[in-house]
Amino acid sequence: MVDIEYKRELEAKRERVEDIFDFEGCKVGRGTYGSVFKAKRKDGKDDREYALKQIEGTGLSMSSCREIGLLRELKHPNVMTLHRVFLNHTTRKIWLLFDYAEYDLWHIIKFHRTAKVNKTSFNVYPNMVKSLMYQILNGIDYIHSNWVLHRDLKPANIVVMGEGSERGCVKIGDLGFSRLFYQPLKPLADLDPVVVTFWYRAPELLLGARHYTKAIDIWAIGCIFAELLTYEPIFHCRQEDIKTSTPYHKEQLERIFRVMGYPSDDVWPDMRKMPDFPQLTRDSITRKAYGKYYLEGYLMEKRLTWDLQSLLTIDPLRRPSAEDALKHDYFKIGEKPNEDVFGGMPIPYPKREFIADDEPDDNKQPQQQQQQQQQGAAAKTGGVPQQQPQPQQQQHHPHQQKVQQQPTGGVVAGGSGMHTVQHYPSASVQPPMHANMRGYPGGNMAPPPPQQQQPQQHPNYPRYQ
């Protein structure tokens, strides 16, 4: 039995987050599972800005524990950094200290989409999309090479650092859904039947694949790439059912086939082996109905040229790895990717504003219940969303509920975490852990399984060659 006096003495010596960081009145995000504050050190030892995420309740969910465990091991310039975890044994409050990221891809895309709708088109800076994609693939290559699947890649979970030493650096956040995939004891589909937000969910997941691979993350990155080019989600689907507990989703598959076409047996030989393939026939989804659709036709309609179409290869076995994608000529021809995705130019995107502490949060409990229905027994608690003002014409993002209106701004603490309200103007919407970074000098070693080697940190960020 632990001595009471010893516990008190230990508690007195424990560092408290309130004594180290100044964050009062600096709330920048709030969601179902907690709040996020913009913070700076009181002692002035550094002038960095941090994101303090307070997890509400009396403990940690399994997904939060998993995210904390992974982030403590993953050390890479393109992965969000978890610096410290604070636990107050008296109040039972838990605080996570992250990098503070001023922007995320969802806000960047929204900025350009709104400008497009308002006919005040403001295109992304030259080479910005290439730089964004290079860093996203670099980060996911590192994650995959250390036997981790992200399983929830979407624009809101890809953050971009603002002014400072890491200006324009892309970081992958929100690992609450991530899983180790080296020799799992059970199929991943048995542990989490529903993963990845609908619009970014690979077709093998929608057809109930029980054994899936890192190819599901590559598909999501392909969707993000297309969205960066068009400012619209390529597989936008109006029909949403956030309460579904099964991976099959008829409307989402129809949307994919309207862009990609219905795959033949040569294009995807194993499609007929998917557990939910018979449901396609029952729902009258056949090759004949989608014979005139193909990705190249979609790109021609949008007047686009796309160098990385292979990211959306419908057969997961033929989808390239992140390592392969990084070797594509897209990154070798013309201007090279930049560390600063803004290319040293002024940043046009609005910063986030502070949220009043006393604003009501009337929708927290229903939102929490709906997420638990979607994710099964393990509710996702890995992050805190940004909350946005609602335009007059609205379309709700999958798995997202109406929340209290908040000012626009950037993302914090490793991505949106929970699914926030994300609206698309209806006028514009159409019906690795890598021990050596392969995109950097000296990266030519394949990592052994995680139980044989601890992840290697990257103290320096080599410049792009």
* Helix extents (H) in 101-214: 105-117, 128-144, 188-191, 203-206
Q: Are 398 and 237 in contact (CB under 8 A)?
A: yes
210: amino acid identity, one letter: R
Which whole-number Å values give the CA distances from 139 to 74, 125, 128, 216, in the listed order? 10, 22, 17, 15
| d(C-alpha 163, C-alpha 146), whole Å | 30
Is 53 annotated as contributing to ligand binding? Answer: yes
152 included as an active-site residue: yes
Set 141, 152, 217, 276: catalytic member: 152
Q: Residue 103: which of 162, 152, 45, 57 has the closest Cα?
A: 162
| d(C-alpha 342, C-alpha 377), whole Å | 41
Rounded to the nearest 5°, which phi and psi values hold at 207? Answer: -100, 15
In eight-state DSSP terms, residue 325 is H
Annotated binding residues for ATP: 53
Extract the annotated binding site.
Answer: 53
Active site residues: 152
